[in-house]
C-alpha cells in the first residue's frame, strides 16, 4: 500500500508515526496546499488528512488508485463524502479521542479568566507586587465556581464531561440542546435565552450546523450577566465574532475562545482590538491536542487502516 500523509504538522512533531510503516510505503508532507494536493495523491492507495480538502475532481482525475481516506479528526467536512461513496472509496474518521483533552482545556480557560491569572502573573513579574509591601494582592477580586450556575450548550460526551467536573466544584448545571432532541438527562434543560441570562459560566460544546451557525450574536449577547464567563471550544462560527467584540466593549463579561470562524485568526479580526484585552482569552485551536489525545487519534487511524486491509 502507498500511504500519503498530507498534513503531518497538524499532528505534532512529537507523535511517533512508525506504526503506519507496517502497512506499506509512507510518504509524509508537513503541509499541503490546494494546488499541491492533486500531484501528491496520484499514487496513493490510502490518504491520511486532517484538514486538507479532498474533492470529487481530485478523486476522479488524480487518485486513480485511491481506496481509503483516513481523516485525522472527527469532522469529515473536508472530504466530498457522496463522491467517495460513488467511487467506492471508503472514508473513516476517529471519534471520541479528544474528549478528556477538550474538557480539561475548558476548565483551564474558565479558571484563567475567573481568577485573572494573566493579570496576577504579570503583576508578580513586573515588580508591582515587590513594591507593594503586602504579602498578597487583591487588585482583581475573583469568586469560586462552587455555588455558581454553569450553562452548557451541547450536552454530548464533552458537555457531560464538563458537567460532571463542574458539579464536583459545586456548580449547578443547566443545558441547552441545539438539536432540540436531547431533552432526557440528569440536568435541567433551559431555552437559550434563559441559559444566557441566568448562568454565571457558559461553555459551548456543540457542532457547527444550520442550527448553530451564528447562534450567539448581538441579540442574545446582551443577556449575559455582569462578570459572566463565555467559553467556546465547539466551532468558531457558532459565535458572531464582530458582535462579540462589540459586546465585550460595551458590557463587563469575559470570553475564552479556542476556535474561530477563520483559522488562524486574521489580523483584521475585531477581537484583536477590543478596549480591554483582559476580558478575552484566545488559544489557537489546541483544546484537542493533548499528547494523550493525539496518541489516541493515531491509534484510531492505525486501527482504521488495519480493519480496511485485514477486515
- For residue 297, give the CATH number of its domain: 3.40.50.720
Tell me: do 12 and 131 sit in the same domain. no
Tell me: do 91 and 188 sit in the same domain. no
Give 135-154 pLDDT, tens digit per residue.
Answer: 999 999 999 999 999 999 99
Phi, psi for residue 8 in degrees, rounded to 5 = -60, -30
Lowest mean pLDDT among 97-111, 169-183, 224-238: 169-183
b/e code 9-40 from CB counts within 10 Å (16+ = b):
ebbeeeeebeebeebeebeebeebeeeebeeb
Tell me: do 24 and 159 sit in the same domain. no
Segment 63-91 shows an average pLDDT of: 97
Tell me: do 104 and 252 sit in the same domain. yes
Tell me: do 171 and 75 sit in the same domain. no
Q: How far is CA 119 from the centre of its chain?
A: 25
Tell me: do 9 and 134 sit in the same domain. no
Segment 90-116 shows an average pLDDT of: 98
Q: pLDDT band for position 157 (50/70/90)?
A: very high
pTM, entire model = 0.94
Residue 106 has pLDDT above 80, yes or no: yes
Tell me: do 69 and 105 sit in the same domain. no
DSSP E strand stretches across the chain:
2-5, 25-28, 46-49, 68-71, 90-92, 149-153, 172-176, 188-189, 201-204, 229-232, 254-257, 280-282
235 is catalytic: yes
Give 214-257 pLDDT, tens digit per residue.
Answer: 999 999 999 999 999 999 999 999 999 999 999 999 999 999 99
Q: pLDDT band for position 183 (50/70/90)?
A: confident
8 is catalytic: no
Tell me: do 32 and 119 sit in the same domain. no
Tell me: do 84 and 108 sit in the same domain. no
Tell me: do 125 and 274 sit in the same domain. yes
How many domains, the chain?
Answer: 2
Report the pLDDT value the prediction gives residue 169, as an integer from 0 to 100.
98
Residue 184 has pLDDT above 80, yes or no: no
Three-class HEC string of 168-185: HHCCEEEEECCCCCCCCC
Q: Compute the chain's Rg from CA coordinates.
A: 22
226 is catalytic: no
Tell me: do 146 and 256 sit in the same domain. yes
Report the pLDDT value the prediction gives residue 53, as an integer from 0 to 100.
98
Residue 180 has pLDDT above 90, yes or no: no
Active-site residue identified among 8, 40, 105, 235: 235
DSSP E strand stretches across 85-240:
90-92, 149-153, 172-176, 188-189, 201-204, 229-232
Its domain, for residue 159, covers: 99-282
Tell me: do 121 and 229 sit in the same domain. yes
Active-site residue identified among 144, 263, 266, 292: 263
Active-site residue identified among 40, 205, 285, 294: 285
Amino acid at each position: 500500500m502507498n500511504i500519503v500523509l498530507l498534513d503531518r504538522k497538524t499532528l505534532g512533531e512529537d507523535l511517533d508515526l512508525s506504526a503506519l510503516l507496517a502497512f506499506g510505503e509512507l510518504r509524509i508532507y508537513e503541509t499541503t496546499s490546494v494546488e499541491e494536493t492533486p500531484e501528491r495523491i496520484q499514487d496513493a492507495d490510502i490518504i491520511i488528512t486532517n484538514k486538507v480538502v479532498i474533492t470529487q475532481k481530485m478523486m476522479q482525475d488524480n487518485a486513480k488508485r485511491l481506496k481509503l481516506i483516513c481523516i485525522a479528526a472527527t469532522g469529515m467536512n473536508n472530504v466530498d463524502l457522496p463522491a467517495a461513496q460513488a467511487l467506492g472509496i471508503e472514508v473513516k474518521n476517529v471519534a471520541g479521542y479528544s474528549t478528556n483533552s477538550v474538557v480539561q482545556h475548558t476548565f483551564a480557560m474558565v479558571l484563567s479568566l475567573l481568577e485573572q491569572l494573566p493579570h496576577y502573573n504579570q503583576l508578580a513579574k513586573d515588580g508591582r507586587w515587590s513594591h507593594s509591601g503586602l504579602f498578597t494582592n487583591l487588585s482583581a477580586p475573583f469568586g469560586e465556581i462552587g455555588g455558581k450556575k454553569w450553562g452548557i450548550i451541547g450536552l454530548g460526551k464533552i458537555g457531560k464531561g464538563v458537567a460532571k467536573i463542574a458539579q464536583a466544584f459545586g456548580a449547578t448545571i443547566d443545558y441547552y440542546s441545539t438539536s432540540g432532541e436531547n431533552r432526557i438527562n440528569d440536568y435541567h434543560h433551559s431555552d437559550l435565552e434563559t441559559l444566557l441570562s441566568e448562568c454565571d459560566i457558559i461553555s459551548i460544546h456543540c457542532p457547527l450546523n444550520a442550527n448553530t451557525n451564528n447562534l450567539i450574536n448581538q441579540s442574545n449577547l446582551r443577556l449575559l450577566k455582569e462578570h459572566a464567563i463565555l467559553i467556546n471550544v465547539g466551532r468558531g462560527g457558532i459565535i458572531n465574532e464582530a458582535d462579540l467584540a462589540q459586546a465585550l466593549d460595551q458590557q463587563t463579561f469575559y470570553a475564552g475562545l479556542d476556535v474561530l470562524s477563520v483559522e488562524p485568526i486574521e489580523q483584521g479580526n475585531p477581537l484583536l482590538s477590543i478596549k480591554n484585552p483582559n476580558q478575552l482569552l484566545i488559544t489557537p485551536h489546541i483544546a484537542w491536542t493533548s499528547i494523550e489525545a493525539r496518541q489516541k487519534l493515531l491509534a484510531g487511524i492505525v486501527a482504521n487502516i488495519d480493519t480496511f486491509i485485514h477486515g
